[in-house]
Amino acid sequence: MKRYTTQFVSVLNSDSTAKAYQSALHQFEAWLKERQLKPDPKQVSSQHIEAFKVFLQNKGRKPATINKVMSGLNRFFNWALDEGIVKVNPVTRGSIASSEPIKPPAYLTKEERIKLLKVLDYEGNRRDKVIIMLMLYAGLRPNELIELNTDNIKAGSDTTFQIKIDYARMIPLNQRTSISLRNYLTSKNLLDTDFPKVLFYNRQNQKLTIRGLQYILDKYKDKTGFEKLNAHTLRHSYGYMLFNSTKNIAAVALMMGYKTEDGLPNIRTALKYISSPEQLYEQLHEEVTKAVYNLDE
C-alpha cells in the first residue's frame, strides 16, 4: 500500500491535503496490519472500511475527524479505481457524512492545452512530446504508458494510429498525436520490428519507470507554470474532451478503461465528466428523439 500511497500523494496539488490524506492512509494501513490483514488495496472491502470506522469511533475520535479520514480513503480509492488498481471503491456513501460537494476532477482548459503543446513544440524532445500527448489525447494511465510496446501500436484510418490496450479498448489517436508518434517511432527505428519492443526508455537506455515519468511531468509543470499538471490531470482532460465531443458516456467509460467486475463499461465511474445531470438528460433526450424516428421503419 505504501507504493500506491506515494503515487497517489504525488498527484495532489495541495501540501496540506496531501499530508491529511497520507495520514488517513497510514492509519488505515496500521489498522490492517494489527489485524494481520494484507495492506493491499485490491483486497480491501466495504466491511473493512466500516470496521475501521467503528474502530475510530471506539477510540473516541470526533465525528469531524472520522469524516476527514473517510474522505481521505474515499479519494484514494477513487484514484485507485481510475488507475485500474481496484475494480470498485470500497468506501460507501454512508461511510462519509455529506458536508461539502465532491469536487470534479481537475483538467486542462483549451487555452492551457494550447500553451502546453507550444512548450512541447519549442522546448520538448520527441519522447517527452509523444508521452504527454498520449496521456492528454488517449487518456493513458501511467502504468499503461510505461508498459507500451510496438505490439500496442495499430494502424488506424489514413495516416493515424490506434493504441490497443486490450480486446475492447482500442483508442484512436488524432492526427497531431499520430504524427508525433510516427516521428518518434521513426527516430527509434520502431516502425517495423519483428518482435515487441518497449517504446519509452530513460537516458540510461533503461525502460522508463513511474518515477521517471513523474520527473518528465514535473519538468513541464515548471515550464508551463501549471501547478495542476500531472498524469491524473492529463488523463481527465481526455475524459472531458471525449464526452464533450461524443456526448456518449458509455464510449467515454470504454475509452477510459472504466470496467465493472463483469468487464462491461462502468458508466457510473465516467459520470464525473458530465458537468450536471441536466447535461446527461439533454444528451439522452437527443439520442432518443433521433432513434424514435427509425422505429419500425
pLDDT band at residue 96 under the 50/70/90 scheme: low
C-beta neighbour count of 191 within 10 angstroms: 12
Number of domains in the chain: 3
Residue 53 inside a domain? The answer is yes
My answer on whether 60 and 149 are in the same domain is no
Specify whether the CB–CB gap between 137 and 174 falls below 8 A. Answer: yes
**Grid coordinates standing for 197?**
519492443
- pLDDT score at 170: 94
| 89 CB-near residues (< 8 Å, 6+ apart) | 74, 77, 78, 80, 81
pLDDT digits (tens, 9 = 90+) for 102-141: 567 899 999 999 999 999 999 989 999 999 999 999 999 9
My answer on whether 85 and 124 are in the same domain is no
Residue 297 inside a domain? The answer is no
CATH number, position 217: 1.10.443.10
Provide mean pLDDT across the span 32-45.
Answer: 90
Q: The sheet that has 161-164: what strands, in order across it?
A: 153-155, 161-164, 170-172
Q: What span, in angstroms and rounded, lies between the C-alpha atoms of 153 and 165? A: 9
pLDDT digits (tens, 9 = 90+) for 199-258: 999 988 899 999 999 999 999 999 999 999 999 999 999 999 999 898 888 999 999 999
Give the residue numbers spanning the domain of 273. 247-292
Provide mean pLDDT across the span 166-187.
Answer: 93
Q: What span, in angstroms and rounded, lies between the C-alpha atoms of 201 and 149? A: 11
What are the φ/ψ torsions at residue 178 (nearest 5 degrees)? -65, -40
Residue 104 inside a domain? The answer is no
pLDDT band at residue 179 under the 50/70/90 scheme: very high
My answer on whether 233 and 254 are in the same domain is no
More reliable by pLDDT, 281 or 52: 52
C-beta neighbour count of 136 within 10 angstroms: 22
**Alpha-helix runs per DSSP H in 195-262:** 210-224, 231-246, 249-256
Q: What span, in angstroms and rounded, lies between the C-alpha atoms of 132 and 184? A: 13
Specify whether the CB–CB gap between 112 and 233 falls below 8 A. Answer: no
CATH number, position 79: 1.10.150.130
